[in-house]
Structure 1
């Protein structure tokens, strides 16, 4: 019984101390200055293909395409708070052929809104050649991003030695999107 009384007494003293402790006045108008600026990263496309993957029935394919549907840019929250977007690409080429990668931003009805491309040199010794590229969207260029429904990736092999089953090397591509948001008290 003494132990229970002591615990109740101790709890009462602690609660009293917390309720009468000194506190600073709270300024609820500070919510007007509320602002959060999160940065979100997302993987876009990944490719790791040996040279002989550019053959179809023993014949060289000089161009490969793939597309990704994207609906996130049409979201009202994203449209209101996205202030900048960066698309970052790291390409590694160890094939004795140069390559060009083209990225097209298309509407749902395949109308081109934005496009960019970059080239990566051939690797005559089959040692990896690494190339980095970043495309930035901000201010007026964000508008084309907001209307994008599909990303079309086109990889073209530049002229050079013919590729066969025994051609050494590979092409690797890593990419990500970095999205900068600004969320303030207008929610």
Structure 2
């Protein structure tokens, strides 16, 4: 009998606790102050050119340019909420020539908007990985980036950087860090 009485009292106390609660006024207007600031990191461009694709006699030569579609900014939500972008570049040159790389941002009318120039030193043995200063796009420069529909790559061998047989690879890796603000 004692056990049954204890059981009933326990149930009664537990049930009473369920009915206790705190209440306060809810402020649903706080949603108007909500501001999300996500940051995304993504790959931008990559290429790996083998030495057998390069013809150079020491006089400097342009490797045939390549233009890639860049449809990121066709998304209105992304374009409207983008507040800053940072582009990072890294090259690895094992070719016994120096290079100049130009990344050309091109609009829908095939007009160049901005050019990013990277100088790549001649391979002299060991590691030849170069990380370049981050290209930051804010304000007016960000508006140019938002108009970009294509990216062109122009690669030139530097005149006088060598006359011997060419061997090795030239690699470019790039990434983008984008900052958004959603209200």
TM-score interval, normalised by the smaller of the two chains: 0.7 to 0.9
Match of 1:128 in 2: 127
CA–CA distance in 1 between the matches of 2:130 and 2:27?
A: 52
* Secondary structure at 1:35 match in 2: coil
Match of 1:50 in 2: 50
Question: Any idea what the Cα deviations from partners look like across 1:141-170, whole Å, max 9, x if unmatched?
Answer: 111112111111111111222364xx3332
- Deviation of residue 64 (structure 1)? 3.6
CA contact (8 A) 1:90 1:132 kept: yes
- Deviation of residue 31 (structure 1)? 0.9
* Aligned: 1:35 with 2:35: yes
1:29–1:155 CA distance, 2 compared to 1 (3 A)? same
Match of 1:158 in 2: 158
Extract unaligned runs of 5+ from structure 2. Answer: 1-10
Instruction: With the length of structure 2 as denominator, give the TM-score of the two structures.
Output: 0.78
* Number of equivalent positions: 168
1:38–1:54 CA distance, 2 compared to 1 (3 A)? same
CA–CA distance in 2 between the matches of 1:64 and 1:23?
A: 71
Cα-Cα RMSD: 2.7
CA–CA distance in 1 between the matches of 2:104 and 2:180?
A: 23
Larger radius of gyration: 2
CA contact (8 A) 1:51 1:169 kept: yes
Question: Any idea what the Cα deviations from partners look like across 1:97-129, whole Å, max 9, x if unmatched?
Answer: 111110111112211111120101112x33231
CA contact (8 A) 1:96 1:126 kept: no
Match of 1:26 in 2: 26
- Deviation of residue 23 (structure 1)? 4.5
- Deviation of residue 27 (structure 1)? 2.0
CA–CA distance in 2 between the matches of 1:115 and 1:163?
A: 31
CA–CA distance in 1 between the matches of 2:82 and 2:162?
A: 45
Give the stretch that moved more between structures: 94-103 or 21-30: 21-30
